[in-house]
Amino acid sequence: MERSLVLIKPDGVERRLVGQIISIYERKGLNITALKLVKPSREIAETHYVEHKDKPFFSELVTYLTRGMVCAMIIEGPNVIETVRKINGATDPAQAEMGTIRGQFALSKAENIVHASDSPESAEREIKIWFPEAE
Protein backbone atom coordinates (compact mmCIF):
# COMPACT_ATOMS: atom_id res chain seq x y z
CA MET A 1 0.00 0.00 0.00
CA GLU A 2 1.29 3.50 -0.83
CA ARG A 3 2.58 5.58 2.10
CA SER A 4 2.97 9.31 2.78
CA LEU A 5 4.89 11.11 5.51
CA VAL A 6 2.70 13.88 6.87
CA LEU A 7 3.69 16.57 9.36
CA ILE A 8 1.42 18.87 11.32
CA LYS A 9 3.93 21.70 11.75
CA PRO A 10 4.46 23.77 14.92
CA ASP A 11 1.77 26.32 14.02
CA GLY A 12 -0.81 23.49 13.83
CA VAL A 13 0.24 22.05 17.20
CA GLU A 14 0.43 25.51 18.83
CA ARG A 15 -3.06 26.32 17.59
CA ARG A 16 -4.39 22.96 18.93
CA LEU A 17 -5.53 21.82 15.49
CA VAL A 18 -3.99 18.32 15.68
CA GLY A 19 -7.26 16.50 16.40
CA GLN A 20 -9.22 18.36 13.74
CA ILE A 21 -6.54 17.77 11.09
CA ILE A 22 -6.13 14.06 11.87
CA SER A 23 -9.89 13.58 11.68
CA ILE A 24 -9.95 15.06 8.16
CA TYR A 25 -7.53 12.34 6.94
CA GLU A 26 -9.45 9.64 8.84
CA ARG A 27 -12.83 10.76 7.50
CA LYS A 28 -11.45 10.28 4.00
CA GLY A 29 -10.74 6.62 4.89
CA LEU A 30 -6.96 6.81 5.06
CA ASN A 31 -5.07 4.80 7.71
CA ILE A 32 -2.66 6.40 10.15
CA THR A 33 -0.13 3.62 10.79
CA ALA A 34 2.41 5.56 12.89
CA LEU A 35 2.13 8.81 14.81
CA LYS A 36 4.28 10.79 17.23
CA LEU A 37 4.83 14.25 18.64
CA VAL A 38 8.45 15.39 18.46
CA LYS A 39 10.42 18.61 18.73
CA PRO A 40 12.69 18.25 15.70
CA SER A 41 16.43 18.92 15.90
CA ARG A 42 18.01 21.27 13.34
CA GLU A 43 19.63 18.21 11.77
CA ILE A 44 16.26 16.52 11.21
CA ALA A 45 14.71 19.72 9.79
CA GLU A 46 17.67 20.37 7.48
CA THR A 47 17.66 16.76 6.26
CA HIS A 48 13.90 16.79 5.73
CA TYR A 49 14.07 20.01 3.67
CA VAL A 50 17.40 19.29 1.92
CA GLU A 51 15.85 19.93 -1.52
CA HIS A 52 15.21 23.54 -0.45
CA LYS A 53 18.70 24.19 0.95
CA ASP A 54 19.56 26.74 -1.74
CA LYS A 55 16.25 28.64 -1.46
CA PRO A 56 16.32 32.09 0.15
CA PHE A 57 13.78 30.97 2.78
CA PHE A 58 15.71 27.85 3.90
CA SER A 59 16.96 29.27 7.19
CA GLU A 60 13.49 30.66 8.05
CA LEU A 61 11.98 27.26 7.17
CA VAL A 62 14.33 25.36 9.52
CA THR A 63 13.72 27.87 12.34
CA TYR A 64 9.94 27.47 11.87
CA LEU A 65 9.98 23.66 11.87
CA THR A 66 12.21 23.46 14.96
CA ARG A 67 10.42 26.07 17.10
CA GLY A 68 8.01 23.62 18.73
CA MET A 69 6.38 20.22 18.64
CA VAL A 70 5.52 18.62 15.30
CA CYS A 71 3.02 15.77 14.84
CA ALA A 72 4.62 13.28 12.43
CA MET A 73 2.51 10.55 10.83
CA ILE A 74 2.75 7.76 8.32
CA ILE A 75 -0.51 7.62 6.39
CA GLU A 76 -1.37 4.70 4.11
CA GLY A 77 -4.04 4.16 1.48
CA PRO A 78 -4.61 3.87 -2.25
CA ASN A 79 -3.06 6.88 -4.04
CA VAL A 80 -2.39 8.35 -0.61
CA ILE A 81 0.23 10.83 -1.87
CA GLU A 82 -2.09 12.48 -4.38
CA THR A 83 -5.07 12.25 -2.02
CA VAL A 84 -3.29 13.86 0.94
CA ARG A 85 -1.86 16.64 -1.24
CA LYS A 86 -5.40 17.40 -2.45
CA ILE A 87 -6.70 17.41 1.12
CA ASN A 88 -3.83 19.72 2.21
CA GLY A 89 -4.37 22.20 -0.64
CA ALA A 90 -1.92 24.47 -2.46
CA THR A 91 1.35 25.42 -0.70
CA ASP A 92 0.27 29.06 -0.79
CA PRO A 93 -2.90 29.24 1.36
CA ALA A 94 -4.13 32.18 -0.73
CA GLN A 95 -4.35 29.75 -3.66
CA ALA A 96 -5.71 26.81 -1.61
CA GLU A 97 -9.36 25.85 -2.05
CA MET A 98 -11.48 26.60 1.02
CA GLY A 99 -12.31 22.91 1.55
CA THR A 100 -8.63 22.03 2.05
CA ILE A 101 -6.66 22.10 5.31
CA ARG A 102 -4.56 25.08 4.21
CA GLY A 103 -7.63 26.79 2.76
CA GLN A 104 -9.42 26.50 6.09
CA PHE A 105 -6.58 27.00 8.56
CA ALA A 106 -3.58 28.83 7.05
CA LEU A 107 -2.84 32.38 5.93
CA SER A 108 0.88 32.34 5.20
CA LYS A 109 2.98 30.61 2.55
CA ALA A 110 5.74 30.02 5.09
CA GLU A 111 3.53 28.83 7.97
CA ASN A 112 1.21 26.56 6.08
CA ILE A 113 0.23 24.07 8.83
CA VAL A 114 0.98 20.74 7.11
CA HIS A 115 3.60 18.97 5.02
CA ALA A 116 3.08 15.84 2.91
CA SER A 117 5.45 13.82 0.72
CA ASP A 118 5.34 14.71 -2.98
CA SER A 119 6.27 11.28 -4.41
CA PRO A 120 6.67 7.64 -3.26
CA GLU A 121 10.47 8.14 -3.28
CA SER A 122 10.21 11.24 -1.06
CA ALA A 123 7.83 9.37 1.24
CA GLU A 124 10.29 6.53 1.82
CA ARG A 125 13.18 9.00 2.34
CA GLU A 126 11.15 11.11 4.78
CA ILE A 127 9.78 8.09 6.70
CA LYS A 128 13.39 7.03 7.42
CA ILE A 129 14.10 10.50 8.85
CA TRP A 130 11.06 10.72 11.14
CA PHE A 131 10.53 7.03 11.96
CA PRO A 132 14.01 5.44 11.86
CA GLU A 133 12.86 2.84 14.38
CA ALA A 134 10.12 1.62 12.02
CA GLU A 135 12.54 0.58 9.28
Which residue ranges make up the site for ligand CMP (CB under 6 A)? 52, 57, 60-61, 91, 109-110, 112, 115
Which helix (H) or strand (E) segment is 83 a member of? Answer: helix 80-88
Determine the 3-state secondary structure of 110 from DSSP.
coil
CA distances from 7 to 56, 76, 88 (A): 22, 14, 11
Nearer of residues 30 and 65 to ligand CMP, judged by Cβ:
65
Nearer of residues 49 and 131 to ligand CMP, judged by Cβ:
49
Distance CA 102, CA 120 (A): 22
Q: Shortest Cβ distance from residue 48 to ligand CMP (Å)?
A: 8
Q: How many CB atoms lie within 10 A of CB 16?
A: 8
Q: For the stretch 102-131, what's the b/e string if a residue is b when 16 or more beta carbons lie within 10 angstroms of its beta carbon?
A: bbbbbeeeebbbbbbbeeeebbebbbebbb
Nearer of residues 30 and 84 to ligand CMP, judged by Cβ:
84
Nearer of residues 57 and 128 to ligand CMP, judged by Cβ:
57
Catalytic choice (3, 85, 102, 115): 115
Question: Parallel, antiparallel, or unpaired for β 3-8 and 31-38?
Answer: unpaired
Q: Shortest Cβ distance from residue 112 to ligand CMP (Å)?
A: 5
Q: Shortest Cβ distance from residue 16 to ligand CMP (Å)?
A: 20
Q: Is 115 a catalytic residue?
A: yes
Q: Shortest Cβ distance from residue 51 to ligand CMP (Å)?
A: 8
Q: List active site positions.
A: 115
